[in-house]
Amino acid sequence: MRFPCFLLSANGDIMAIKDEIRSEREKIKGQGAKAHLSYFWDYYKIPFFIVIAAAAVIIYMISFYASKKQVFFTAVFLNTDSGDTEAENKISSDFSRAIGIDGDKKKAVIDMSMQERPGDNSSTQALAVSTKLSSLSDGKKLDCAVMDSYNFKTYAMSGIFSDLRNAMSEKELKNYDGRIYYIDGAELNNETFIDNDKVKKTDSLQEAEKKDSKKNFILPDPAEMKKPIPVGIVVEDSAVIKENDLYKESVPVFGIGRTRKDTKNAKAFLSFLDKGK
């Protein structure tokens, strides 16, 4: 069996190639489909496979981008007790449905993968969490977050959460009286959020975990602060959080991402957490 199209040297005679191809075609005239298929295979199988491979790649890319959902909302749940992919998907679909979003076209990202031990600011895991949250915040992708109370205060002091007076109207904020979590602006760190690993944490791990437990939680009193700033809403009684057993040992606090200008979806999510479906 010969392969004249592929074995000729670079200096081969092009006319000789054409003559040989013409000669081979003449030989298979009238010899039926099998001879034609054999000729095609001998001379064109490599170009054929290249075309098939290219077509497969194009079809895959079209299918991939056509089916890719646009992310319209991102929420992080830090230190959940039982959060998993099933809970993430359920909350995502329920929230999208509650606010009238087509889940086939747009997606709400609910991330429950992050765990950070209260009081830990040096382990690899803690630094990984800080880096991921920093990336979301700096990229203006973090709509809101729910955290155990100890870590919520730590991250609030580093500037990740918005002053709720900038995100809500006075009337909206008043609806959460008795649940508003304040920090003292007079004690705020000068560090930016990206330098969160530099935030001072004086509590030992044992002291931090003790403070973080539900039985020891005390809602900060703005009357005792020099410059009270409302940055969070306690969501301990949230229908969604209770249904999914997300925070059984600590008190969860909700905050709105500081770098997100449009807070509509974050506020809708807070309402969804309270009411459920």
CA pair distance 194, 9, nearest whole angstrom? 61
Q: What is the pLDDT of residue 39?
A: 59
Q: What is the pLDDT of residue 188?
A: 79
Q: Which residues of the chain have pLDDT under 50?
A: 1-11, 63-67, 190-200
Tell me how far apart the terminal alpha carbons of the chain are, to the nearest angstrom. Answer: 71
- Under 8 Å CB-to-CB from 136, ≥6 apart: which residues? 74, 76, 142, 257
CA pair distance 231, 253, nearest whole angstrom? 9
Q: What is the pLDDT of residue 34?
A: 63
Q: What is the pLDDT of residue 161?
A: 97
Q: Which of 205, 233, 202 is nearest to 219 (CA)?
A: 233
CA pair distance 276, 94, nearest whole angstrom? 8
